[in-house]
């Protein structure tokens, strides 16, 4: 069984490269904001692990080119972050720093999702236009091959004029 592989980066459309680069940069910033060799007192070790695992889920969904799932995981990250802050496991300063990174990543993912939706709509419109053109072509071909409608013969000229009921 052959596993599906992601196309090499060079095969990705040029228009998505800046977004992808921005997204990767945002993810790295978010990860480094959460990470550290020794957790700072601003961020509890357990909260950091939990948040990092959620960042990994965001990253995996984005790498799979699934912006909707990435955004859902990002929402989960925000909920976990807010809960950790409410428990006092994240300082206000660190909370704000992480939220800023989350907002940056969210903007990139939202742009990717909008771009994907626009491409999907354009593809659907193109397919509909091609289907309409094919149908018109088929209709024209069928009309060209159809036999001409039968025409009733004209009555003979000159015979029977003046003869009818009452003539006689």
Higher per-residue confidence, 149 vs 135: 135
**Minimum mean pLDDT range among 10-14, 99-103, 108-112, 138-142:** 10-14
Beta-carbon contacts of 115 under 8 Å, excluding residues fewer than 6 positions away, are 15, 16, 19
∠ CA 161-164-166, rounded to 5°: 125
Residue indicated by tokens 């945002």:
26
Cα torsion 58, 61, 66, 70 to 10°: value is -20
H-assigned helices in the chain: 16-34, 45-63, 67-86, 92-145
User: What is the arithmetic mean of pLDDT over 34-62?
Assistant: 78
Residue 36 confidence (pLDDT) above 70: no
CATH topology of domain 14-130: de novo design (two linked rop proteins) (1.20.1440)
* CB within 8 Å of 97: residues ≥ 6 apart: 33
| CB 76 within 8 Å of CB 54 | yes
Structure confidence by residue, pLDDT tens digits, 147-165: 666 677 777 776 655 555 6
- The pLDDT of residue 161: 56
Q: Which of 3-7, 71-75, 115-119 ranks highest by mean pLDDT? A: 71-75
CB atoms within 10 A of CB 23: 24
């Amino acid at each position: 069984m052959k596993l599906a592989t992601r196309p090499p980066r060079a095969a990705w459309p040029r228009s998505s490269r800046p977004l992808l680069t921005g997204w990767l940069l945002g993810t790295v910033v978010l990860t480094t904001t959460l990470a550290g060799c020794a957790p700072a007192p601003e961020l509890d070790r357990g909260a950091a692990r939990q948040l990092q695992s959620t960042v990994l889920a965001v990253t995996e969904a984005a790498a799979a080119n699934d912006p909707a799932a990435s955004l859902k995981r990002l929402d989960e990250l925000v909920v976990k972050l807010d809960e950790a802050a409410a428990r006092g496991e994240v300082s206000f300063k660190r909370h704000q720093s992480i939220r800023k990174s989350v907002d940056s990543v969210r903007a990139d993912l939202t742009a990717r999702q909008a771009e994907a939706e626009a491409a999907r709509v354009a593809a659907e419109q193109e397919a509909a236009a091609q289907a309409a053109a094919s149908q018109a072509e088929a209709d024209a071909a069928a009309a060209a091959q159809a036999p001409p409608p039968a025409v009733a013969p004209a009555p003979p000229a000159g015979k029977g004029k003046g003869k009818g009921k009452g003539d006689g």
